[in-house]
């Protein structure tokens, strides 16, 4: 009974940025495979890089950051997603950064100004430095740098749209939420693209948000549509090739430009979703959204 009480207290004390749903997506090893080290803000950080065979150094290419969930690994996210294969076919470089650690758990500090995150790592600064490092070694099109992520990594991706929009052209959070602080602190670029993918039955990142910590998906969409002056929406309802029930929202401004899209997975849980839409999986759908946006 004492052990049980201690365990409960430990779980409650962990940050909301950690996910309990670890086994479904952490397929990596404790030690990241072929990790590259970088020092930032007094910490030794890691990342895993995938460069397509088509890269020749002569032509600039896009860069996609793919962020793991809380208590996950860079290698785990690489195995969970299929972004390497998309990079090979589309010709971009993909990087899987490793979060820092607190109490033995890896995490992303998506809440930079509140106590919602128990850690203090400067992850926005780390991602900025990582982009600079990779672009110093590879010919990167700095107008085409994107970020996606799962769970806590999704939280971080949408925070990057707020706090690093000078370097990030578009983001795609999967089963992640926008921190409540961002509602007042967010300063995105006027052309920042946002593709939000959430399930309605997610218990770790509830669609309705978490009071005092995370906005609901609807409130997040309201923020971004107001910011981008979107005044109309196209809604499509369909079942994909894997029998997922999807409501697809495309928000348009007066000029017909769409900077915001949303996949609402009806009954979907806390997953990097196994989608099949017109023959495209989730990673391909994310890239299809990314390639339409740049900071030019």
Segment 204-228, tens digit of pLDDT: 999 999 999 999 999 999 999 999 9
Q: Does residue 296 fall inside a structural domain?
A: no
Q: What CATH number is given to the structural domain containing 257? A: 3.40.50.1820
**Mean pLDDT throughout 82-98?**
98
List Cβ neighbours of 41 (8 Å cut-off, separation of 6 or more).
121, 122, 125, 126
Q: What CA–CA distance (Å, rounded) separates 201 from 213?
A: 19
- The boundaries of the domain holding residue 47 are 15-290
Q: Does residue 261 fall inside a structural domain?
A: yes
What is the Rg, in whole angstroms, of the alpha carbon atoms belonging to the chain? 18
Q: Does residue 6 fall inside a structural domain?
A: no
Q: What CA–CA distance (Å, rounded) separates 97 from 27?
A: 15
Q: What CA–CA distance (Å, rounded) separates 175 from 194?
A: 14
Q: Does residue 88 fall inside a structural domain?
A: yes
The total number of structural domains that make up the chain? 1
Q: Does residue 8 fall inside a structural domain?
A: no
With tokens 């029930």, the residue in question is 245
DSSP 74: H
Question: Which residues face 234 on adjacent strands?
Answer: 250
Positions of E strands within the chain: 36-40, 43-50, 61-67, 93-97, 100-102, 105-107, 140-150, 170-174, 193-199, 230-239, 245-253, 260-265
Farthest-apart Cα atoms in the chain, separation:
64
Q: How many CB atoms lie within 10 A of CB 276?
A: 16
Q: Does residue 113 fall inside a structural domain?
A: yes
Q: What pLDDT score was predicted for residue 296? A: 76
Q: What CA–CA distance (Å, rounded) separates 163 from 225?
A: 18
| Phi and psi angles of residue 287, each rounded to the nearest 5 degrees, phi first | -65, -40
Q: Does residue 5 fall inside a structural domain?
A: no
Q: Kindly report the pTM of this predicted structure.
A: 0.91
Segment 244-284, tens digit of pLDDT: 999 999 999 988 999 999 999 999 999 999 999 999 999 99
Q: What pLDDT score was predicted for residue 254? A: 87
Q: What pLDDT score was predicted for residue 261? A: 98
Q: Does residue 4 fall inside a structural domain?
A: no
Spatial CA neighbour of 151 closest among 15, 13, 272: 272
Q: How many CB atoms lie within 10 A of CB 191?
A: 15
């Amino acid at each position: 009974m004492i052990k049980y009480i201690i365990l409960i207290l430990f779980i409650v004390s962990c940050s909301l940025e950690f996910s309990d749903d670890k086994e479904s997506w952490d397929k990596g090893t404790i030690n990241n495979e072929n990790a590259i080290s970088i020092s930032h803000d007094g910490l030794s950080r890691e990342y895993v890089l995938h460069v397509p065979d088509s890269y020749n150094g002569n032509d600039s290419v896009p860069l996609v950051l793919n962020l793991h969930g809380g208590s996950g690994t860079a290698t785990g996210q690489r195995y969970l997603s299929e972004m390497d294969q998309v990079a090979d076919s589309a010709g971009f470089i993909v990087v899987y950064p490793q979060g820092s650690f607190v109490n033995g758990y890896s995490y992303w500090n998506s809440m930079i100004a509140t106590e919602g995150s128990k850690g203090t790592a400067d992850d926005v600064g780390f991602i900025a430095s990582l982009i600079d490092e990779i672009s110093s070694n590879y010919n990167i099109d700095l107008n085409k740098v994107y970020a996606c992520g799962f769970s806590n990594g999704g939280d971080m991706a949408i925070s990057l749209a707020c706090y690093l929009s000078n370097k990030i052209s578009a983001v795609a959070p999967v089963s992640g939420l926008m921190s409540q602080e961002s509602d007042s602190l967010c300063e995105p670029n006027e052309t920042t693209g946002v593709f939000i993918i959430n399930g309605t039955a997610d218990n770790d990142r509830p669609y309705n948000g978490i009071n005092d910590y995370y906005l609901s998906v609807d409130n997040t969409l309201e923020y971004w549509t107001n910011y981008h002056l979107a005044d109309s929406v196209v809604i499509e309802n369909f079942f994909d090739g894997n029998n997922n029930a999807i409501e697809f929202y495309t928000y348009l401004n007066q000029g017909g430009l769409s900077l915001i899209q949303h996949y609402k997975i009806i009954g979907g849980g806390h997953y990097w979703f196994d989608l099949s839409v017109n023959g495209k999986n989730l990673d391909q759908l994310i890239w299809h959204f990314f390639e339409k946006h740049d900071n030019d």
